[in-house]
Structure 1
Amino acid sequence: MNSLRAVAAVAATAVSVSLSAPAAAYPVDCAILLCLAGGWPASAECAHARAVFIARITPWPVEPPLQIWNCPMRASLNRETSPMERLFEIVLQHEGGPRPQSSVESSSELYLAQDQADVDISGPAYDFVRSIHVFQIEYRRHRNRDGDCNTWSTIREGTYGEQGDFAWARSTPAQVPSASAFRPGTSCSDYWFRGVFVDWTDYEGTYGFEEVRY
């Protein structure tokens, strides 16, 4: 299929993910990757994938919402298909049960990369992975009895590298996207905020975000 949104929609319809199924029985990060790329199509399957995506940024601890290294994208031997089409096949294969495999395919399916994708995702087709940003925000401000304005903040930003590797770095209030409810302003009024914000753009460039206050 030419449209990744259409692939994700088909995957969401075709794949039956049971919330009670053992985690190891289904590569949920493959579903997250497909559903995120396709703009989170309306389905029980993508709802489950999105719930896992959001649960991972719900303290504690705060985890990478997409853990692409847990999705065996190298599993298919059919090199005529695109990586996203192979991903679609993997999702269906895990849900639909075993199918005939060569010994090479069986062994390659066991391979998982260490903290990054197991195939090359450096091309623009996977920019939606690198569009994901996570902000963990803790901010406090008050004026003391002497009239001094005291501000304390710890903000860190999580980003994805070229191959889907995730890393944290220090950030500042100015870097927090405007879609967040974080609004410290410029006055010295008492203000307290604590939460985790994640945003992204899907394959077609549509913006999305979620925020968890705690």
Structure 2
Amino acid sequence: MRRLLSTAAIFAIGFTPLAVKPAAAQGYQIDCAILLCLAGGWPASVPCARARAEFIRRITPWPVEPPLQIWRCPMRAALRAPDPVARLYRLAGVNPGPAVSPAPQMEGLHLAQAVGHGADIDVSGSAFAFIRSIDVFDAYLSQGVVGEGEHCRRTARIRHGSYDSTGQFRWRIASPGELPPAFQGDEGFGATCPSIRVRAVFVDWEDHEGTYGSEQVNY
């Protein structure tokens, strides 16, 4: 098992296969599970499969939601427990079994009051960089030749959603050039004038070890 992360919730990454607690279904805290499973690279388990499915469902139109809603995972409550890592597992409704290591030292932790829809602890440190790595693009691109003069008509409407240092999600207007290389369907946009029409929501991320992942939903 890889080492535990350090800091507030600092998650046990590289899970051994997780087992669902028999009575956990009704009280399942999906955003705590998303937080843990995303950090760990979506390890193969029933709770992580559910967490990933919800992560993708939220960006599936309509409406497009923040895929991780960290304000729904009470990490401050986990910190006040004797073992915050175990507490987070309980909040997520998963049971890592006897392989969980003791809680990491917390001396570097600084609590912060939530502002808006941010986390209820300080997530600005490098241990939580995987949260800020999440990018959501809600994109519509259209391009084609029109009229007798064969003019190239282009339309681009793109929103980019990202998380700030508090864990709050914000949208802004973006340009076609900001779409990640893994985005599919924009090849040739703005170059000559191949016919293009793509409407999609795209999300990408990096886990705690920097491994890249992405998902695109066309509609």
Aligned to 1:204: 209
Instruction: Answer whether contact 1:8 1:38 (CA < 8 A) is retained.
Output: yes
Alignment gaps of 5+ in structure 2: 95-112
Aligned length in residues:
193
Structure 1 unaligned regions, length at least 5? 97-110
Shift of 1:44: 1.1
TM-score (norm 1): 0.80
Taking only aligned residues, the RMSD between alpha carbons, in angstroms, comes to 2.7
Which residue of 2 is the match for residue 164 of structure 1? Answer: 167
Partner of 1:30: 32
More helix by share: 1
TM-score w.r.t. the length of structure 2 is 0.79
* Cα deviation code 1:168-211 (max 9, x no counterpart): 01111110000111324112121100101101110011111111
The C-alpha deviation readout for 1:16-63, integer Å capped at 9, x for no partner, is 4889x44xx221000000000000001111000000000000000000
1:63 is matched with which residue: 62, 65, 68?
Answer: 65
Equivalent in the alignment of 2:89: 91
Q: For residue 188 of structure 1, what is the aligned residue in structure 2?
A: 193
Question: Secondary structure at the residue paired with 2:88?
Answer: helix
Change (3 A) 1:121 1:202: same
Change (3 A) 1:63 1:6: closer
Task: Give distance in 2, aligned partners of 1:167 and 1:112.
Answer: 15
Alignment-derived partner of residue 100 in structure 1: none
Paired residues of 2:201 and 2:217 also in contact (CA < 8 A): yes
Q: Which stretches of structure 1, 4 residues or more, deviate above 6 A after TM superposition?
A: none
Distance of 1:171 and 1:192 partners within structure 2: 18
